Amino acid sequence: MPLELPDFPWNSLLPFRETAVAHPDGIVDLAIGSPVDPVPPLIRDALAAAVDSPGYPQTQGSPEVRAAIVGWYARRGVEIDAANCIPTIGSKEFIATLPTLLGLGPGDIVVFPTAAYPTYDVGARIAGADVLRSDDPDEWPQNTRLAWLNSPGNPDGRVHGHEFLRRAVVRARELGAVVANDECYTELNWEGDEPTPSILDPEVTQGSRRLTLAVHSLSKRSNLAGYRAGFVAGCSDLIGEILEARKHAGLIPPAPVQHAMAVALGDDSHVRVQKSLYAARRSQLADALRGAGFRIDESRAGLYLWATRGEDCWATVADLARLGILVTPGSFYGDAGREHVRISLTATDERTAAGAARLASSSNG
């Protein structure tokens, strides 16, 4: 029997893309958060230096890449060791397969936020598990086996503090459930210079990482979406179980990518440069959106603005498409987003400026 998966949501945007493409000055694509800026040279050089890799790479990750993950956490006040982490083939692959690798199935519940990246739902469906959308750990039922958090959030840029994360960890342990925080946007914090709180922070774990995972990606912070480079860290027992399953499935990042990851994780300067580019685009778009009558909610971190004019999201999508601007309807992320649109910061400076100018022009009549 084929899997019962939802329709791929991006297909429903195609008519609006066609409208936007027809604009005399071309499309301003603010829908998909795919990086457009160059891969930093030091990472490209690292990849090139490792291309002669004829043997199979290690599923657990090379000692070099695991040491880089450990070092990255140490600079953020979180102490782990090599047994607490493994590289992944980007973060989406890990999110989609985790329920299956944990052995979940019918009757088991996977919880994820009310406004959520669709892959949490898809991963549960692949495993045959049941799902619950909830933003309150106290609502998690007894048969919860995996609870996804997403801070900073996609699509809404919501950030959870240490207190909320600690409450979620406590509740998950009461239930015997795994709690995993998708932290892919942690370094793109717009309310300070430090990364957003991690579920592995000592203030959250209170001395134990049991049943706790943090998921990361280098796609946004280092423009490595094309490399498929990510990692997961947390409870060593869980990591060990997941690693054994991944060995059987052959889920291994290529050796050159692992070397490039190690170099990228060892350098914070290129992340600051990229963040400054996104900050400028964010400011320009936010000002233009507010001038055009939008309200921006949450959006405290990450690569998106979560905007609304208090109308059905598809009406907003259609209106902006006529301006040649393509955005994502909030309904892609659940009923909680039905009056919002997600607006990406991953357009070039020139396209971002064009989009801001079109918004300004529309607000002037």
pLDDT in tens, the chain (365 residues): 566 766 667 788 999 999 999 999 999 999 989 999 999 999 999 999 999 999 999 999 999 999 999 999 999 999 999 999 999 999 999 999 999 999 999 999 999 999 999 999 999 999 999 999 999 999 999 999 999 999 999 999 999 999 999 999 999 999 999 999 999 999 999 998 889 999 999 999 999 999 999 999 999 999 999 999 999 999 999 999 999 999 999 999 999 999 999 999 999 999 999 999 999 999 999 999 999 999 999 999 999 999 999 999 999 999 999 999 999 999 999 999 999 999 999 999 999 999 999 999 887 65
Question: How confident is the model at residue 342, as a pLDDT?
Answer: 98
Question: How confident is the model at residue 362, as a pLDDT?
Answer: 85
Residue type, 189: N
CATH 3.90.1150.10 applies to domain 9-30+270-363 = yes
Residue with tokens 């090599």: 82
Question: How confident is the model at residue 177, as a pLDDT?
Answer: 98
Q: Where in the chain is the domain with CATH 3.90.1150.10?
A: 9-30+270-363
CB atoms within 10 A of CB 34: 15
Helix, strand, coil distribution of the chain in percent, nearest 5: 45, 15, 40
Provide CATH code, domain 52-267.
3.40.640.10
Question: How confident is the model at residue 192, as a pLDDT?
Answer: 86
Cα dihedral sign for 67, 73, 76, 78?
Answer: negative
Among 57, 79, 76, residue whose Cα is nearest residue 261: 57
- What DSSP string runs through 231-251? EEEE-HHHHHHHHHHHHHHT-
Contact 333, 313 (CB under 8 A): no
Measure the CA–CA gap between 116 and 105, rounded to whole angstroms. 21
Residue type, 125: R
Residue with tokens 């005399």: 24
Residue with tokens 């998909």: 32
Question: How confident is the model at residue 10, as a pLDDT?
Answer: 73
Question: How confident is the model at residue 6, as a pLDDT?
Answer: 67
Q: What is the layout of strands, in order, in the sheet containing 295-297?
A: 295-297, 304-308, 341-344, 328-329
Q: Where in the chain is the domain with CATH 3.40.640.10?
A: 52-267
Q: What's the pTM? A: 0.95
The pair phi, psi for residue 120, each rounded to 5°, is -60, -45
Question: How confident is the model at residue 7, as a pLDDT?
Answer: 67
Say whether the peptide bond before residue 152 is cis (omega within 30 degrees of 0): yes
Which is it for strands 325-326 and 328-329: parallel, antiparallel or unpaired? unpaired
Measure the CA–CA gap between 230 and 260, rounded to whole angstroms. 11
